[in-house]
Amino acid sequence: MSSMHALHKILADHAHPRPASVKPGDFLEVEPDVFAFQMADNAEEVDKLEADLAELGVKKLPLKDKMFPFLDHGSPAPNSGIAAGQKRWREFFRSHGIPMQDGGAGISHLIMAEQGVVGPGTALALRDSHTPTSGALGAFAASLAGGRLSLLALGRYVIDVPKVMLFRIEGTLGKGVYARDVALHVNGRVGQRAALGCAVEFAGSFVRSLDMDLRFTLCNMGTEIGAMASYIQPDEVTWAYVQGRGTKTFKVYETDPGYEYHEVHEFDVSALEPQVAVPHAPSNVRPLSEVAGQRVDQAYLGSCASGRLEDIAAAASVLRGHKVHPDVRFIVTPGSREVVKAATRLGYMDILHEANAIVTSAGCGACPGQGGGILAPGEVAISCNTRNFEGRMGAKAQIFLGSPATVAASAIEGRIASPVPYLSPRLR
């Protein structure tokens, strides 16, 4: 039997029939532990789905007890069209007796972790490109390009077992540099297609030093280099996070000694300075010093890449005692209601409000361009978004990507600026 990666073992244990071993390129019929389902804005999609299930004679959904429906894009609904689609999805899940997350709970990838729905060894299926975020917990989490009907009707879907690449990151960050800067740096180094169709494991002394919030940020970036899944081997940090969350029992899988990775990439981030991705690709990354001074109309903190408590703490550390520039809108969209509560308890929200930031309800907000801060043609934003593709936050606008601290510093100055001069002692 050839050596196997932990991700391959997770897939093997969830396959029907269960193979003795798997290798890249194998096709497996997998039953996930969690089938997360985004209630989107397309009412016609619900009608088509119900017609397909009726034609197949499906009356009871086989994964009913494993489904996790949620609303994070365009919630609360910004227009009547989106509201109509969300209404039809609510009706669909209610008709099957499946509980739903409320529209203000937050972003799926974050709330599934917070509620203990996903953890080490979990096989997660979800039609959202940033599903690999959950790999920070040691899960196999892949976005569904298709397969929703087979999951709803049969409870399984077919997956092509990926090759696994290793990204080993070493070093200690300097002042004003954060995990999001590292994610941008890695993306810029390897490019948008470096891991296309593969899974990526993040390891090394830098990764081991991160708390869970920043591990999620790193694994989220796997999507932007084409990865099917991201992965960090669970350790004491992982277990400290999952303990007391939900009632599930999780299993840690270990990669076999001597496993040969498809590729190995090495990074030393000790001398890294803050990074910025310039329009219109998240891999178009430059040192902040090369773009400092670029005027901005809006600063945005949020998304599944950077809407967690650690991110808001970093922004609050920069903003304390300062005001947002009068020509800038600084919009903060927390990733979850739990983040809102914790940030309020720790005083971060007071700092944001005192600085004249605009704090919205939890969710995806402006990142997918469905509400909470759309840009006008010709406007420029500095953002913590997942992506800066042309048109993502508004037609004919420009999006620069940076860390939460860089975004906050830029909000103060009205131009892209380094956070270093503003950094006060840690607030956590």
Based on the domain organization, do 205 and 294 belong to the same domain? Answer: no
* Domain of 409, in residue numbers: 277-422
Residues 150 and 175 in one domain: no
Partners of residue 295 on adjacent β-strands = 415
Preceding omega of 262 cis (within 30 degrees of 0): no
Is residue 111, in this structure, part of any structural domain at all? yes
- The verdict on 102 and 13 lying in the same domain is yes
Task: Locate the DSSP E strands across 189-274.
Answer: 199-203, 229-231, 263-268
Whether residue 136 lies inside any domain: the answer is: no
**What pTM was computed for the model?**
0.94
Mean of the per-residue pLDDT values for the chain? Answer: 94
Q: Which of 218, 247, 268 is the last residue of a domain?
A: 268
Q: 405: which residues sit within 8 A by CB, 6+ positions away?
A: 176, 178, 274, 314, 315, 317, 318, 419, 422, 423
In a domain, 117, yes or no: yes
Question: How confident is the model over 54-67, as pLDDT tens digits?
Answer: 999 999 999 999 99
Question: What does the pLDDT read at residue 428?
Answer: 42
Q: What string of pLDDT tens digits covers the 428 residues of the chain? A: 689 999 999 999 999 999 999 999 999 999 999 999 987 777 888 999 999 999 999 999 999 999 999 988 888 888 888 899 899 999 999 999 999 998 899 999 999 999 999 999 999 999 888 999 999 999 999 998 777 889 999 999 999 999 999 999 999 999 999 999 999 999 999 998 999 999 999 999 999 999 999 999 999 999 999 999 999 999 999 999 999 898 899 999 999 999 999 999 999 999 999 999 999 999 999 999 999 999 999 999 999 999 999 999 999 999 999 999 999 999 999 999 999 999 999 999 999 999 999 999 999 888 888 778 999 999 999 999 999 988 888 889 999 999 999 999 999 999 999 999 998 655 44
Q: Using alpha carbons, select from 307, 285, 276 the residue that is nearest to residue 415.
A: 276
CATH, residue 351: 3.30.499.10
Query: Are 94 and 236 in a shared domain?
Result: no
Instruction: State the virtual CA torsion across 309, 312, 318, 323 in degrees, nearest 10.
Output: -150
Distance of CA 52 to the CA centre of its chain: 31
pLDDT of residue 252: 97
Same domain, 54 and 101: yes
Give the residue from 268, 290, 318 where a domain finishes. 268
1 within a domain of the structure (yes/no):
no
**How many CB atoms lie under 10 A from the CB of residue 175?**
10
Do 50 and 114 belong to one domain?
A: yes
Residues 340 and 375 occupy one common structural domain: yes
Q: How many whole angstroms separate alpha carbon 307 and alpha carbon 404?
A: 9
Is 135 inside a domain boundary? no
Q: Is the domain of 360 the same as that of 215?
A: no
Sequence-separated (6 or more) residues with CB below 8 Å from residue 175: 420, 423
Helix (H, G, I), strand (E, B) or coil at 18: coil
Do 112 and 175 reside in the same domain of the chain? no
Q: How many angstroms separate the CA atoms of 314 and 346, rounded?
A: 13
Note whether 254 and 188 are same-domain residues: yes
- Alpha-carbon separation of residue 343 from 114, 334, 350, 386, 428 (angstroms): 15, 9, 9, 22, 10
DSSP one-letter string for 361-372: -SSSTTTTTSSS
Give the separation between CA 44 and CA 41, rounded to whole angstroms.
9
Nearest to 255 by CA among 2, 4, 34, 23: 4
Task: Give domain status of residue 428, yes or no.
Answer: no
In a domain, 427, yes or no: no
Whether residues 10 and 155 fall in one domain:
yes
Which of 204, 239, 268 is the last residue before a domain boundary?
268
Q: Are strands 329-332 and 285-287 parallel, antiparallel or unpaired?
A: unpaired
Number of structural domains the chain divides into: 3
Q: What are phi and psi of 118, to 5 degrees?
A: -120, 140
Closest CA to 300 of 369, 348, 222: 369
Beta partners for residue 141, in sequence order: 124
Do residues 149 and 176 share a domain?
no
